[in-house]
Structure formats: structure tokens, C-alpha cells
Amino acid sequence: MRRKMLLAMAAATLAGNVLAAAPQKGDPAKGKQIVDTVCAACHGVDGNSVAAANPSLAGQSQHYLYSQLKAFKSGERKNPTMFGMTAALSDDDMRNVAAYFSQQKPKEREASDKTQMALGAKIYRVGNPATHVPACMSCHGPSGKGLPDMYPRLGSQHAAYVAKQLADFKAGADRKNPTMADIASRMTDAEMKAVAEYISGLR
């Protein structure tokens, strides 16, 4: 009995080590099969979505995409559509689609509301010292490319999607992140709208 238990424990440790050593990268070819059949309708075959409510995912960091899929699935990030979408995905599926989207080329956009550019650029590049809003570019990068594994890319994202996320971070119910909640809580609606427009044309 004792010997059996020791053997089982040794096997478990071995399996644990193998798992830890195995690469955590997804398989983009397997991811593409899921994207083509399920996700493309909203996010585009190549991760460049058309409708402004559906975020573009092309070129987004693999780590970030995977972390968001997990958050939708667990209900930590609340969205009825994406909760349904992730219910059927395994952990490997999520890694695979994340790998696929991260390798796609983001389509460049133009900001549609140019009247917002002056305020938007100021918030993005300088922040608002009076209310302690930090410059977005200090984490998301001067051209919105982000920093893989740490900060998501924002450049050329739909303005309406960006504005909604900022409002969600501020409200703190559907989307929780301490860093972004603190930043969004210091922003006015006008600042959120303006910086979202600026980001949509950023490349």
C-alpha cells in the first residue's frame, strides 16, 4: 500500500515536471480551424474585425489573448457572448487560437473623428497631470504596439470598443484590473472618447 502510494506520488511529480517543461505556446494551425468555423464571423478570418463592437485581435499578444479567454470562461471578465464562446473551448484550444491571432497582421485604420485628436493625443502621450492620469504610451508604447506578455497592443483598435473597455474598467463590474481601474477612474467621459479616437488611428 505504502509502496503504491509512493510510486503514485513519484509518477505525479514526474508528470508535473514534464508539464512544467513542455512549451506553453499554442499551435496556430489548430487555432485557425476554430477561428474559421467559430470566431471569424465576428473577429474576421485574419483577426481584423469589421463591426466596432467586436475587437480586432490581429497582432495582439498571445499571452494577453489567452488570459482574456480564460477570464471570459471563468466569468471574471463578464460578457454574455464571449462567455458562451469560451464555454466550449479547452485550455489547449484557447492557447491555439491565441497563437493564431497573435501571428496575424493588424490592419491600419484612420481615426474617424478628427476633432478629438488634440485632446486624445495629449492624454495618450502626456496624460493629465492635474488629475494624475498617466500617459498611456508609457505602458502601451508610443505607437500602441504594447509590450508582449505585459501590456496589450491598442494601435488601430476600434474606438467604440476602446471607449467601452475604459468605461468597464471604471465601473469595475464587468472587467476588473487594478491598474486600468485606477487610471480609468481618474478620466472624464470626454477624455475616454478622445483617447479612444486617437488610439483607433494609432500605428
Task: Kindly state the smallest distance separating residue 118's Cβ from ligand HEC, in Å.
Answer: 15
Q: By the 8 A CB rule, do 199 and 104 touch?
A: no
For ligand HEC, the closer CB: 21 or 87: 87
The backbone region for 128, taken as left when phi is positive above 0, alpha when psi lies in -120 to 50, beta otherwise, is: beta
- Distance in angstroms (rounded) separating the CA atoms of residues 199 and 163: 10
Indicate the residue type of 48. Answer: N
For ligand HEC, the closer CB: 13 or 185: 185
Task: Kindly state the smallest distance separating residue 55's Cβ from ligand HEC, in Å.
Answer: 4
| Binding interface with ligand HEC (CB under 6 A) | 34, 38-39, 41-43, 53-55, 57, 65, 67-69, 79, 81-82, 85, 97, 123, 133-134, 136, 138-140, 151-152, 154, 162, 164-166, 177, 179-180, 183, 195
- Distance in angstroms (rounded) separating the CA atoms of residues 13 and 10: 5
For ligand HEC, the closer CB: 21 or 138: 138
Q: Residue 131 phi/psi, 5° resolution?
A: -110, 10
